[in-house]
Amino acid sequence: MKEDQVNVTEGTGRLGRRKFLNTAALAGLSIGTVACAEKDEGKAAAPAAAPAAAPAAAPHGASGAHLKPGELDTYYGLWSGGHTGDMRVLGLPSGRELLRIPCFVPDALVGWGITNESKAVMGTKPDGHLRYTVGDTHHTHASYKDGNYDGRYAWINDKINSRIARIRLDYFVCDKITQLPNVQGFHGIFPDKRDPVDPAINYTTRVFCGGEFSIPLPNTGIEDETKYRSLFSCVDAETMEVRWQVLIDGNCDLVATSFDGKLAATNQYNTEMGAKYEDMMSAERDACLFFNIARIEEAVKAGKFKTIGSSKVPVVDGTREANKDAKTALTAYVSVPKNPHGVNASPDQKYFICAGKLSPTATVIELAKVLDWFDGKHENVDDAIVAEVELGLGPLHTAFDGRGNAYTTLFLDSQVVKWNVDKAIAFHKGDKTANYVVDRLDVHYQPGHINASQSETIAADGKYLAVGCKFSKDRFLPVGPLHAENEQLIDISGEKMVLMADHPVRGEPHDFIIFKRDLVKPKQVYDLDHHPLAIKDSKESGVFRNGKKVTVKMTSLAPAFSLREFKVKKGDEVTLILTNLDKIEDLTHGFAIPNYNVNFIVNPQETASVTFVADQPGVFWCYCTHFCHALHLEMRTRMIVEA
Amino acid sequence: MKEDQVNVTEGTGRLGRRKFLNTAALAGLSIGTVACAEKDEGKAAAPAAAPAAAPAAAPHGASGAHLKPGELDTYYGLWSGGHTGDMRVLGLPSGRELLRIPCFVPDALVGWGITNESKAVMGTKPDGHLRYTVGDTHHTHASYKDGNYDGRYAWINDKINSRIARIRLDYFVCDKITQLPNVQGFHGIFPDKRDPVDPAINYTTRVFCGGEFSIPLPNTGIEDETKYRSLFSCVDAETMEVRWQVLIDGNCDLVATSFDGKLAATNQYNTEMGAKYEDMMSAERDACLFFNIARIEEAVKAGKFKTIGSSKVPVVDGTREANKDAKTALTAYVSVPKNPHGVNASPDQKYFICAGKLSPTATVIELAKVLDWFDGKHENVDDAIVAEVELGLGPLHTAFDGRGNAYTTLFLDSQVVKWNVDKAIAFHKGDKTANYVVDRLDVHYQPGHINASQSETIAADGKYLAVGCKFSKDRFLPVGPLHAENEQLIDISGEKMVLMADHPVRGEPHDFIIFKRDLVKPKQVYDLDHHPLAIKDSKESGVFRNGKKVTVKMTSLAPAFSLREFKVKKGDEVTLILTNLDKIEDLTHGFAIPNYNVNFIVNPQETASVTFVADQPGVFWCYCTHFCHALHLEMRTRMIVEA
């Protein structure tokens, strides 16, 4: 157990640090990457910054994350929960977790997966059990208007079961979940930022979803892996129905969208379409695949699609073979080096940047030139590449400060590298004096996603940078085999990056966004009219029988439920409807029935219901589980199940 | 939305502050409490400290919670998760959540409730589904040796389904869960600190569990509430079997144990045995009920017990009627004022302190005098009361600093009051100059549990005090109707308490303990021998068929699973066993099967298994869900289900 303060600089040289890192995350890393490493070590890396900067613990930076008691954060962060299956709301710079929003996975506090309302969102099997109780969220992004977040919605993916969930940002709740047909391994997700055609639609109306795994289409047991394919999907932001899909070559990893609404893109790490990892990394170059949204929707409108299996969703052909003619192409495959990971849109609206993963490079693609290719103005779509520059080992994701700088995580080097995009373009053009690397900062350890405050909006403000470190190793007290991950916060307001704080998080946040607190207007009390079954007056309470079906109507008003007891008969199918008549913010009640596997909460003015069979006779004290009042412990009602 | 920094002093007078508080938590508070309030407001409260102290934001206190990047916490905190159903491990003073330990409720990250191993701990129905998926943890305490924590175990209750879970503090995992028979509303929990008879047993061997709700015994539908009773239970710390139970009058709320092992106690807020909250608060005094452990175990040994329903657990008679003779009594009912909440053992080993809740008082009970009563040395057990002093409105729980001071939460006043126990006793004896109230600090808001570092051990060190505030109101950015709760941290090293930090937490932590980090020795890698089915060599991998039952054996070693694909047939019952052969700390893998509702992790050298029916034909990419390696995305295997 390492108990002393860890000196983050440690005076270790670069090789020493790499050796330390390699003991954990890189065992058995195969030939491709090792080759990169040797290449990088063997020759002087392209214009380097000062040697790996010691993470200067400048007072203003390091203390900036520390709020005084009662002081509020200035930014919200929406964090994906990984295989914990939720979305998390953090306050920044403090890093405090303010809320977990259940989406794909049940939540015993809220009663998510217990109440009829949440089961309807999550989806059930014919026997009434939840269809799924696991999830794997990776990426979360919010709705846009005029290039900035508008505080309406956020979306989040479930990779395991190819589901997309929508979060309402007024109530911070999940209100819809859609399963994508014929998709396995749904990974990247990004809303559009405006309509590609209609200038009046200056806000998000579509969400794009990348399918990572290639499978038989339809997936009915075929085993010939040369016929496996992946789909790129478009979901309607309002109805949450799948509008269309695109059949592609290769796979989809992350997704990005242009500010003008015209392009979406996904980086492809497996253009080889290999089924084993050695095959997936056999090619020297993979791709960033662009989608011409307007053309795809024209093709759908013109009936140029097929459907797959029992799905009714139109599927257009986006394969290379079918899209050779630029002037009619729906898709464009821009070449990028080996197994790229991450594609991000710069806030100046000009570029998409693909990070290399197994190549030590970032590739800068100019969007105007991709559009030029679609317009037939140049022949080779790779001419849209305006820079391909070395950054360090294992580049994964990139964030922006709105001042022309990009920040890329280097997984293998456990660093963040700050680099200037214009200088990188100049260097790529031939100006070898262009020192595009501005700064490097060691992080702890093996960083994946990175994002800056307002990064992929036109309001990128270059204040905070968060880095999702996959390994925390010695940064927190040991708690057994399962370590927390480490979301580090960095001050990027100056020339040098300054490490501010380590924030441990439960596995496994991948992506996140950070935005100014005034962009959302949360509501804190429900409206009784939100639920058609709301019991608006406690006098409506009672037990209503219809054969074996019994409806129990009840209200809560601290410190009592409107029914002090209620009787049902063994074997009844009971639907209990509870409306919380308390109107005061934060005055939430819970409702638990012992041995009946029932617990849920009702927020102020909220209504929820549960349905169960009263299969055990006896007396069951239903009690308030959410502290509400000095007489909270005494807030109970009795369910008497007569034998 | 209140966005500015909240000034915690605000210059509001006492009435103003109460009015503010009352708008949220106290609506409809009935006559008993109002009477207390009026009483307290109307006359000068017993010796008061200086007027409600402004929470001085002294630099050392306020900045003490702020660790530099890489700096480690000095204390662990074990927090109950309330109806989130888990146990949480916090680092203090930072307040960072380092781990959530799933116990009563499934966890999609770990695969808790998914793997065969965790299902065996949680308990299943005949159809294989989990018996319960909700829980409501309240109190957590750890095993003792020689009056201090020994780092072996912690226990936590589930109020909804009357279950007790044990956590191993070497691996920080739940390894056993026991459901208490004939108990509803299992609330308080506390391990003993040594054996009452055998001096060689200087460590925890029993855990005591209080039953809060009175029910028919057995609970088979009887409805005559005068026959409802509660049980106090003793669980074996090693086997986790229920050793014995005590039938009592009234109910059990919190539980405390003496350092000498001789006494356990529970405060009783409902000696009236009322079924409605007005009845529960009708009497002016309730009780603190003491259990004479040695005598109870002698009675069990002598066969002086009955059993209830199908349970085989011996139940001795602890009712008032059966225990009038002190010299043979198993129990003693000490009178305390109206609806007490909380009973705590002082680290000087001398006293139990009951907080009043609906009485503005704390009652100090001298343990030696309770033992004297059992020995027939005095007639009235209430003579054990050595102080009953006013503290403020709504006292709930008490912590200690090891320097003779107690810290009690005042729910209605939203304050913590620091008071000197010896001076309170002197005041109660008649010395009206004894100013027992040392300090008061406003907290935010409506505090419930409180605990200090090492508080209920002989090593109480008076450094940190944490307060579980039930309402956070304006202390954090708004996130919709469900507010975080606020675990505030207070520096108690000086004469005045100093508020250090607000820590938001997901509802609803109740109790917690805080101890020095060197008291546990966590292990970070499993032992292959822990699991009888461990696959110790990847060469043992394969698909083994026995009729329709198929066993798939696999290992993981970053970045690959030992099987690159495996085939089963539609309708097979598949048991998949996965051993993680990686040996490096923090190198955990996940294993997800799309559409099959399977996801779980295997920590280094851990083995886990799942069993499912292969009911959907097709190709399913099983992938690693826990980031492990630069080629993590490529770490997959294929399950091919042949139609």
Q: Do B525 and A475 touch (CB under 8 A)?
A: no
- Decide if pLDDT at B20 tops 70: no
How many angstroms away from the CA of A316 is the closest CA of chain B? 23
Q: For residue B9, give both structure tokens.
A: 């002093």
Could you please report the per-residue DSSP string of B236-298?
ETTT--EEEEEEESS----EEE-TTSSEEEEEES-TT--SSHHHHT-SSEEEEEEEEHHHHHH
Q: Give the separation between CA A235 and CA A139, rounded to whole angstroms.
A: 15
Q: Is A127 on the interface with B (CB under 8 A)?
A: no
Rg from Cα positions in chain B: 27
Percentage of chain B lying above the pLDDT 70 cut: 90
Q: Do A482 and B133 touch (CB under 8 A)?
A: no
What is the DSSP code (8-state) at residue A82? Answer: G
- Decide if pLDDT at B4 tops 80: no
Probe site for chain B from A30, A71, A131, A160 (most B CB atoms < 10 A): A160
Report CA torsion sign: B296, B297, B299, B300: positive
Q: Where are the strands (E) in A162-214, listed by range?
A: 163-168, 173-179, 184-191, 206-213
How many angstroms away from the CA of A534 is the closest CA of chain B? 17
Probe site for chain A from B40, B76, B134 (most A CB atoms < 10 A): B134
Count other C-beta atoms under 10 Å from residue B460's C-beta. 21
- Decide if pLDDT at B59 tops 80: no
Q: Do B136 and A599 touch (CB under 8 A)?
A: yes
A contact residues 277-296, partner B, Cβ 8 Å cutoff: 277, 280-281
Q: Is B100 on the interface with A (CB under 8 A)?
A: yes
Q: Is A139 on the interface with B (CB under 8 A)?
A: no
Q: Give the separation between CA B356 and CA B338, rounded to whole angstroms.
A: 6
Which residues have C-beta within 8 Å of that of residue B327, sequence separation ≥ 6? B374, B375, B376
How many angstroms away from the CA of B57 is the closest CA of chain A? 8
- What pLDDT score does A39 carry? 36
Q: Do B627 and A109 touch (CB under 8 A)?
A: no
Q: Is A355 on the interface with B (CB under 8 A)?
A: no
Which residues have C-beta within 8 Å of that of residue A430, sequence separation ≥ 6? none
Q: Give the separation between CA B398 and CA B267, rounded to whole angstroms.
A: 13
Q: Is A44 on the interface with B (CB under 8 A)?
A: no
Q: Is A123 on the interface with B (CB under 8 A)?
A: no
Averaged pLDDT of chain B = 91
Grade residue B45 by pLDDT with cuts at 50, 70 and 90.
very low
- What pLDDT score does B40 carry? 36
List helix spans (H) across A281-402. 293-301, 367-374
- What pLDDT score does A16 carry? 46
The larger pLDDT score, comparing residue A11 to residue B619, is at: B619
- Decide if pLDDT at A27 tops 50: no
Helix (H) or strand (E) holding B69: none
Contact call for residues B287 and A640 (beta carbons, < 8 A): no
Grade residue B63 by pLDDT with cuts at 50, 70 and 90.
low
Which residues have C-beta within 8 Å of that of residue A335, sequence separation ≥ 6? A285, A286, A287, A382, A385
Q: Do B24 and A586 touch (CB under 8 A)?
A: yes
Of B29, B108, B524, the CB nearest to A135: B108
Lowest average pLDDT, out of A129-138, A286-295, B13-22, B228-237, goes to B13-22
A contact residues 389-408, partner B, Cβ 8 Å cutoff: 394
Q: Give the separation between CA A472 and CA A485, rounded to whole angstroms.
A: 5
Strand partners, A568: A641
Contact call for residues B157 and B184 (beta carbons, < 8 A): no
Averaged pLDDT of chain A = 91
Stretch B70-84: mean pLDDT:
97
- What pLDDT score does B44 carry? 33
What strand order describes the sheet that includes B163-168?
A: B140-145, B148-158, B163-168, B173-179
Predicted ipTM? 0.92
CA-based nearest residue to A259, from A342, A198, A330, A202: A202
Grade residue B37 by pLDDT with cuts at 50, 70 and 90.
very low
Q: Is B561 on the interface with A (CB under 8 A)?
A: no
- Decide if pLDDT at B247 tops 80: yes
A contact residues 178-237, partner B, Cβ 8 Å cutoff: 184-185, 212-213, 215-216, 219-223, 228
Stretch B444-455: mean pLDDT:
97
pLDDT digits (tens, 9 = 90+) for B359-383: 999 999 999 999 999 999 999 999 9
Which residues have C-beta within 8 Å of that of residue B618, sequence separation ≥ 6? A215, A216, A219, A220, A221, B640, B641
**Which residue type occupies A559?**
P
CA-based nearest residue to B235, from B210, B203, B206, B211: B206
- What pLDDT score does A63 carry? 67
Burial readout A88-125 (b: 16 or more C-beta within 10 A, e: otherwise): bbbbbbbbbbbbbbbbbbbbbbbbbbbbbbbbebbeee
Cα angle value A519/A522/A526 (rounded, 5°): 160
Which residue in chain A has the smallest CA separation from B570? A221
- What pLDDT score does B10 carry? 34
Centroid of chain to Cα B198: 28
List helix spans (H) across A308-437. 367-374, 421-429
Q: Give the separation between CA A407 and CA A401, rounded to whole angstroms.
A: 8
Q: Is A370 on the interface with B (CB under 8 A)?
A: no
Grade residue B13 by pLDDT with cuts at 50, 70 and 90.
very low
Q: Is B467 on the interface with A (CB under 8 A)?
A: no
- Decide if pLDDT at A295 tops 70: yes
Of A105, A212, A499, the CB nearest to B108: A105
CA-based nearest residue to B76, from B144, B149, B137, B164: B149
- Decide if pLDDT at B336 tops 50: yes
**Left if phi > 0, otherwise alpha if psi is -120 to 50, otherwise beta: which for B303?**
left
Cα angle value A99/A100/A103 (rounded, 5°): 140
Residue entry with tokens 């998390």: A88
Contact call for residues A618 and A641 (beta carbons, < 8 A): yes
Q: Is A484 on the interface with B (CB under 8 A)?
A: yes
- Decide if pLDDT at A582 tops 50: yes
Q: Give the separation between CA B181 and CA B176, rounded to whole angstroms.
A: 16
Q: Do A221 and B641 touch (CB under 8 A)?
A: yes
Grade residue B278 by pLDDT with cuts at 50, 70 and 90.
confident
Stretch A381-409: mean pLDDT:
98
Strand partners, B268: B287
Q: Give the separation between CA B183 and CA B186, rounded to whole angstroms.
A: 7
Q: Give the separation between CA B133 and CA B114, rounded to whole angstroms.
A: 12
Burial readout B326-353 (b: 16 or more C-beta within 10 A, e: otherwise): beebbbbbbbbbbbbbbbbbbbeebbbb
Contact call for residues B516 and B74 (beta carbons, < 8 A): yes
Q: Give the separation between CA B338 and CA A504, rounded to whole angstroms.
A: 43
pLDDT digits (tens, 9 = 90+) for A471-506: 999 999 999 999 999 999 999 999 999 999 999 999
Grade residue A46 by pLDDT with cuts at 50, 70 and 90.
very low
Q: Do A481 and B525 touch (CB under 8 A)?
A: yes
Q: Give the separation between CA A138 and CA B625, rounded to whole angstroms.
A: 10
List helix spans (H) across A175-241. none
Grade residue B224 by pLDDT with cuts at 50, 70 and 90.
confident
pLDDT digits (tens, 9 = 90+) for A92-112: 999 999 999 999 999 999 999
Grade residue B220 by pLDDT with cuts at 50, 70 and 90.
confident
Q: Give the separation between CA B337 and CA B284, rounded to whole angstroms.
A: 6
pLDDT digits (tens, 9 = 90+) for B494-526: 999 999 999 999 989 999 999 999 999 999 999
- Decide if pLDDT at A58 tops 70: no
- Decide if pLDDT at B99 tops 60: yes
Probe site for chain A from B40, B83, B115, B172 (most A CB atoms < 10 A): B83
Contact call for residues B384 and B334 (beta carbons, < 8 A): yes
pLDDT digits (tens, 9 = 90+) for B565-596: 999 999 999 999 999 999 999 999 999 999 99
Percentage of chain A lying above the pLDDT 90 cut: 86
How many Cα atoms within 13 Å fall on the side-chain side of residue A515? 25
CA-based nearest residue to B523, from A479, A484, A483: A479
- Decide if pLDDT at A320 tops 80: yes
Q: Give the separation between CA B15 and CA B210, rounded to whole angstroms.
A: 37
Q: Give the separation between CA B288 and CA B311, rounded to whole angstroms.
A: 27
- Decide if pLDDT at B426 tops 60: yes
CA-based nearest residue to A78, from A454, A491, A355: A454
Which residue in chain A has the smallest CA separation from B100? A506
- Decide if pLDDT at B554 tops 50: yes
Which residue in chain B has the smallest CA separation from A252? B633
- What pLDDT score does B351 carry? 98
- Decide if pLDDT at B282 tops 50: yes
- What pLDDT score does A59 carry? 41
The larger pLDDT score, comparing residue A277 to residue B31, is at: A277
Q: Is A617 on the interface with B (CB under 8 A)?
A: yes
Which residue in chain B has the smallest CA separation from A468? B627
Q: Give the separation between CA B32 and CA B360, rounded to whole angstroms.
A: 11
CA-based nearest residue to A558, from B22, B526, B143: B22
- What pLDDT score does A31 carry? 29
Cis preceding linkage at B445, omega within 30: yes
Helix (H) or strand (E) holding A217: none
* Backbone phi, psi, residue B301, to 5°: -60, -35
Probe site for chain A from B629, B635, B641, B642 (most A CB atoms < 10 A): B629
The binding site of B for Cu cation comprises: 138-139, 187, 341, 397, 449, 510, 589, 624, 626, 628, 632, 635
Which residues have C-beta within 8 Å of that of residue A142, sequence separation ≥ 6? A78, A149, A150, A151, A152, A153, A154, A155, A169, A191, A513, A515
What is the DSSP code (8-state) at residue B299? Answer: H
Grade residue B8 by pLDDT with cuts at 50, 70 and 90.
very low
Q: For residue B251, give both structure tokens.
A: 């109910």
Stretch A539-546: mean pLDDT:
98
- Decide if pLDDT at A260 tops 70: yes
Stretch A578-604: mean pLDDT:
97
Chain A / chain B CB contacts < 8 angstroms: 500
